[in-house]
Structure 1
Amino acid sequence: MTIKTPSDARWLAAAARLALRGRPASSPNPAVGCLIVRNGRVVGRGWTQPGGRPHAEAMALEMAGDAATGADVYATLEPCAHQSPRGPACTDRLIEARPARVVIGQVDPDPRTAGQGIERLHAAGIEAVLLGCPHSAASLAGYLTRAAFGRPHVTLKLAMSLDGCIALADGTSQWITGEAARAHVHSRRALADAILVGGGTWRADSPRLDVRLPGLEDRSPARWVLTSQPIESAQTIAAPADIAAIPAQYLYVEGGAQAAASFLEADLVERLEIYRAPILIGDGLRALGGLNLAELAHAHGRWQPVETRQLGADTFEAFARTR
């Protein structure tokens, strides 16, 4: 009999954190995390490698060796069940290793697997537990959004003063937030496949839109601009609805005000990240353009707080879109 215990949820949450090591370099494959646990001790760990191979389960099984037999396997996504010229299916590797259980955070929406991995594990006499872990879903947000809606998962970042300004009235904006907050922004950029700003911001500021953290410089995302005009050193889309054409799982939108408002008005933002500096600007440039709300009631019930932290003098808050 399969028993779902609090430790199952904790191990899956740990596997989800491990999966972040694969993002976004695993794209177009999902960034999956896998832990193999025997007698309460981790004997194998893995995450999807750059380019999508090896898969997380293959890496963890290689580390565990014979200790995987009779152990518990925690995988954020259902193990793949389809054959590939790049390597055997993870389901086959698990069946060969003979763990006692495989605890799974999310069913794979890929029709080549989509429940077949679980079925094959059951048929081989291995318990397969689908836990429905929210941490797993969050760690796979880009992959799941792309599968469900055919577009990237969008995070909108705003850095503002206490009174909601992103610059002085003359456009001066360096710097609203402090060094710790700016470093945190670079760590968030490093988790995205693509980054986008509006055409006005591109022309006014010539932003680099790269990652400038030691050791993560190679994680700089592809640069995109929201504009109808041609851009020489970045790719463009004419409207937020065109993001399906961006070959990415995670799109990080940095503004400015009109670009941010256009993504919010199109209801394409899944995560909102706000950096708030303890300063007052007064008659400055606002963080958002108009959202065309018909009534105030339409603004309520859309955003759920999911994270907050202090970054030096600045405050970071993250909100998830409720649907």
Structure 2
Amino acid sequence: MSDDASFMRLALALGRRGLGTTWPNPSVGAVVVEPGTGRILGAGATAPGGRPHGEPLALAEAGAAARGATLYVTLEPCSHHGRTPPCTDAILAAGIARVVSAIEDPDSRVAGRGHALLRAGGVIVETGLMGEAAARDHIGHITRVTRGRPAIHLKLARTRDGFCASAGPERLRITGPVADGAVHLWRAHADAILIGIGTARADDPSLTVRLPGLAARSPLRIVLDSHLMLSPASVLARTARDTATLVLTTRSAPAHARRALEALGVEIAILPADVAGRVDLPTALAHLGERGLTRLCSEGGPRLADAFARADLIEACTLVTGPAELGAAGGLKALGPDLTGALASERFRLAERLLLGPDEAATYEKVF
């Protein structure tokens, strides 16, 4: 592996640490390196809340030593004035001689202008190093600025024979503690978790991150609830003041139900309904994009997953398969026909397979 690739790999790792904490901004990793010696002069990643960006943090750590150095960055430096000055200004002022940038930023406010400004200022700019990995890390930002919605990552658990729930009223335990820990880590890297009202009523989940030291990383919890049936006694409602909770509903929602949930700290958003009277899914995702959400983890059931697949709204899907089987007793199938067809098509590829104790996690990613 070249030195350039090693430093870009470090920048990517730094950026990944902030995933789920920086929205609406991308989590950008940056490393300043002294040419010749390979000494790392400074490193940084976008701070929680999206500011400061990774580049000025890395430059500040490097100080005067940044003059003549190389900057490795996972996304094209911004060139527009927002709540912070352009990163290109900071790079030029620091005297950076060379910038190695993984990918161009598709945001219309940047879109190559950052690289062009640096070149015009005499900086050597090289792009494309580890671009595929960077595009995967920044899929939330890319999806939001190009499609107006967050990137969707479905997560579904199933038995070895393909069921997610038993035929009876008893709750089915599918995965073990290792897989459960992985799920909580995935949650910590999401901006929000989405479920449907069916899952909310059947499982009464908390949808929080329950890993040591990461409790504060619990993302926004969202429930699709077209007729506002979420109980005020549910865990989600009772803990809404501790962990932000948003319910997406329609005008059919009873006023008394809305008042009861809002009194507990639940935020209610009234959105248009589709022809079936349910919250219109594309409109709901556009609403979340307008709020600044970039990475949405869907932990709903098979009906919601199929709705996402039918509307071609999935960027990735992770299937966690446990060792148990329901056999002839059967139950509810984890994968509906639309999601099954999508994952089997050329639009998706198997990107990763992990063993999590006795369980297996297979992640499929959309091919762009």
- Shorter-chain TM-score above 0.5: yes
- The percent of aligned pairs where both chains have the same amino acid is 42
Aligned 8 A contact 1:102 1:126 in 2: yes
Where does structure 1 differ by over 6 angstroms across 4 or more consecutive aligned residues? Answer: none
Aligned 8 A contact 2:318 2:361 in 1: yes
> How many angstroms apart in 2 are the aligned matches of 1:147 and 1:197?
24
> How many angstroms apart in 2 are the aligned matches of 1:11 and 1:172?
51
> How many angstroms apart in 2 are the aligned matches of 1:27 and 1:292?
28
Cross-structure match for 2:39: 41
TM-score (structure 1 length as normaliser)? 0.91
Unmatched tracts of structure 1, length 5 or more: none
Alignment of structure 1 residues 1-323 onto 2, 5 Å: 6-38=2-34, 39-84=37-82, 86-131=83-128, 133-230=131-228, 231=230, 233=237, 234-236=246-248, 238-241=279-282, 242-246=284-288, 247=291, 248-282=293-327, 283-291=330-338, 299-323=344-368
Q: Which amino acid aligns with 2:354?
A: R
Residue 189 of structure 1 and its aligned partner are, at CA, apart by 0.7
Residue 171 of structure 1 and its aligned partner are, at CA, apart by 4.5
> How many angstroms apart in 1 are the aligned matches of 2:281 and 2:326?
29
> How many angstroms apart in 2 are the aligned matches of 1:256 and 1:32?
33
Aligned 8 A contact 2:22 2:48 in 1: yes
More displaced stretch, 238-247 vs 135-144: 238-247
Unmatched tracts of structure 2, length 5 or more: 238-245, 250-278
Aligned 8 A contact 2:309 2:342 in 1: no
Tell me: CA distance 1:9–1:165, structure 2 relative to 1, closer, same or farther (3 Å).
same
SS in 2 for 1:52: coil
SS in 2 for 1:50: coil
Measured against aligned partners, the alpha-carbon deviations of 1:17-59 in whole angstroms (never above 9, x if no partner) come to 2101222211111111111122223221110001211110011
Measured against aligned partners, the alpha-carbon deviations of 1:211-254 in whole angstroms (never above 9, x if no partner) come to 11111111111121223111463412513322111231011001
SS in 2 for 1:255: coil
Q: Which amino acid aligns with 2:333?
A: R
Residue 13 of structure 1 and its aligned partner are, at CA, apart by 3.0
Q: Which amino acid aligns with 2:305?
A: A
Tell me: CA distance 1:208–1:89, structure 2 relative to 1, closer, same or farther (3 Å).
same
Tell me: CA distance 1:72–1:124, structure 2 relative to 1, closer, same or farther (3 Å).
same
Tell me: CA distance 1:235–1:91, structure 2 relative to 1, closer, same or farther (3 Å).
same
> How many angstroms apart in 1 are the aligned matches of 2:7 and 2:337?
44
